[in-house]
């Protein structure tokens, strides 16, 4: 089942989509990667969904990726003695370490890390940014604030601090349990929430030890300050626009999205654009025109993948949401100007390992080349090719199913399991036969093969070969 598009679709699984039958429908509608949201659901539920996704691969005839999204710290205020309080602009309000239920003047903040990090002038955002306070005084165990934007504040509402780095690990005890479970299951990607600094990704990499690809969710402004070093420790990245939009001004989020996309493309790592992409389809069979444009713009920007959240997890139209996203991507990629945009921003190549890959992508611009075939052990060669955004499909062949499933997230790559070749002749015949089998090339059409020698040893691509899809042998 070859997809007539380059950008990929990530679909979140939830109560509306967790059955084996619906997972197959979503895969047939166009989902390439399935997201397990560990903010919700028991381990037993995730295990059943995992098994259903693996079973769906055989039905649709292509690999499906699975992404485990860790919850991360949830920062919330404490309780109030007499229910919600009404805060007015200009009034003083105190956050402290006293667990006594709060009132109109103060509330417990059960996160000493926040109080430790507070300083005069810092901003606190509550209830998804609806209430805003400025710190006027801070000391051991307390922070005095002035209400800037008031409103009703209920207990257990979320707290965000956009101005400072909070000295805490993004991996809570719950996350560590969920991570260990996800790795035992065999998920392909791990997404880390609450990333603030490169050290956060380094900690995750140490725990994962290569058993899955790791992905940073950029949802805090602090991460943008060290974006490059963070991405250098990532296999992928997610633009988590919902949480990012709480802590940043709305007009800053599109600029941040473009910055993250550009930085990820430069490094050749896949980037997912997420949150509220087709949100109205949670309860409507069609999206708004603005939502369709939002998805289209991410595709025009060269995003590897766009993601559905509540639309596929808890909405009334999960299958229709995936199908709609598929249609939007396909329509954008039929735009005569789309190829120009994909080629407009070529990343700078400064590694000898990438020179051959760039040469292959350049050679493929010839109209007579129908597809590129990358023999890869880890998927690195295919990802480097995808970074160049070739307009021909990239068939990635690997003997490792783990690498193949991780590549389901990568722009323009059709990953398949293939036996490890042991000679140049086998490389050529296998590449041509698979391209013909998957209808990526017709008999006699040219393909470009990229591989590395010695065969089977991870390393840089050092072989570029022209071949032609074979004509069928006629029986006499």
b/e sequence 266-288, b meaning 16+ C-beta within 10 Å = bbbbbbbbbbebbbbbbebeebe
Which of 217, 220, 241, 406 is catalytic? The answer is: 217
Q: Is 76 a catalytic residue?
A: yes
Residue of 12, 117, 138, 42 whose CA lies nearest to 75: 117
**8 Å CB contact between 241 and 257:** yes
Sign of torsion over alpha carbons 145, 147, 152, 157: negative
Which of 6, 35, 384, 446 is catalytic? The answer is: 35
Which of 145, 275, 282, 381 is catalytic? The answer is: 275
Which of 76, 146, 174, 211 is catalytic? The answer is: 76
Q: Check residue 25 and give left, alpha or beta (phi > 0: left; psi -120 to 50: alpha).
A: alpha
**Which distant-in-sequence residues (6+ apart) come within 8 Å of 340 by Cβ?**
none
Distance CA 319, CA 304 (A): 21
Q: Is 217 a catalytic residue?
A: yes
Supply 102's token pair.
């709060």
Active site residues: 35, 76, 217, 275
């Amino acid at each position: 089942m070859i997809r007539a598009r380059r950008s990929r679709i990530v679909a979140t699984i939830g109560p509306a989509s967790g059955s084996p039958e619906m997972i197959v429908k979503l895969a047939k509608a166009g989902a390439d990667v399935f997201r397990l949201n560990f903010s919700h659901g028991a381990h037993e539920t995730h295990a059943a969904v995992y098994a259903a996704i693996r079973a769906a691969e055989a039905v649709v005839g292509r690999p499906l990726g699975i992404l485990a999204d860790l919850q991360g710290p949830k920062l919330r205020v404490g309780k109030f003695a007499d229910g919600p309080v009404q805060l007015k602009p200009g009034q003083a309000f105190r956050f402290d370490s006293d667990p006594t239920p709060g009132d109109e003047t103060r509330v417990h903040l059960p996160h000493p890390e926040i109080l430790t990090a507070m300083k005069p002038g810092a901003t606190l955002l509550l209830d998804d940014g609806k209430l805003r306070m400025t710190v006027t005084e801070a000391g051991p165990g307390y922070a005095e604030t002035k209400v800037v934007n008031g409103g009703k504040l209920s207990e257990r509402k979320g707290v965000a601090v956009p101005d400072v780095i909070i000295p805490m690990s993004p991996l809570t005890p719950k996350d560590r349990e969920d991570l260990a479970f996800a790795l035992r299951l065999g998920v392909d990607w791990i997404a880390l929430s609450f990333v603030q600094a490169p050290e956060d990704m380094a900690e995750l990499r140490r725990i994962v030890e290569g058993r899955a690809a790791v992905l940073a969710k950029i949802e805090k402004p602090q991460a943008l300050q060290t974006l490059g070093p963070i991405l250098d420790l990532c296999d992928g990245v997610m633009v988590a626009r919902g949480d990012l939009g709480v802590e940043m001004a709305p007009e800053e989020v599109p600029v941040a999205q473009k910055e993250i996309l550009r930085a990820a493309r430069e490094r050749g790592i896949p980037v997912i654009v997420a949150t509220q992409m087709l949100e109205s389809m949670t309860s409507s069979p069609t999206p708004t025109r603005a939502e369709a444009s939002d998805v289209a713009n991410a595709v025009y920007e060269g995003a590897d993948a766009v993601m559905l959240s509540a639309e596929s997890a808890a909405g009334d139209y999960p299958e229709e949401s995936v199908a709609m996203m598929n249609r939007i991507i396909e329509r954008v990629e039929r735009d005569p100007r789309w190829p120009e945009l994909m080629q407009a921003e070529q990343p700078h190549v400064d590694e000898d390992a990438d020179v051959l890959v760039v040469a292959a992508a350049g050679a493929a611009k010839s109209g007579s080349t129908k597809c590129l075939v990358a023999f890869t052990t880890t998927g690195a060669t295919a990802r480097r090719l995808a970074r160049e955004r070739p307009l021909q499909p990239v068939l990635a062949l690997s003997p490792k199913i783990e690498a193949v499933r991780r590549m389901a997230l990568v722009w323009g790559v059709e990953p398949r399991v293939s036996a490890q070749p042991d000679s140049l002749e086998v490389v050529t015949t296998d590449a041509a036969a698979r391209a013909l089998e998957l209808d990526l090339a017709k008999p006699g059409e040219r393909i470009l093969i990229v591989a590395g020698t010695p065969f089977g040893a991870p390393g840089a691509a050092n072989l570029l070969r022209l071949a032609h899809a074979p004509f069928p042998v006629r029986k006499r």
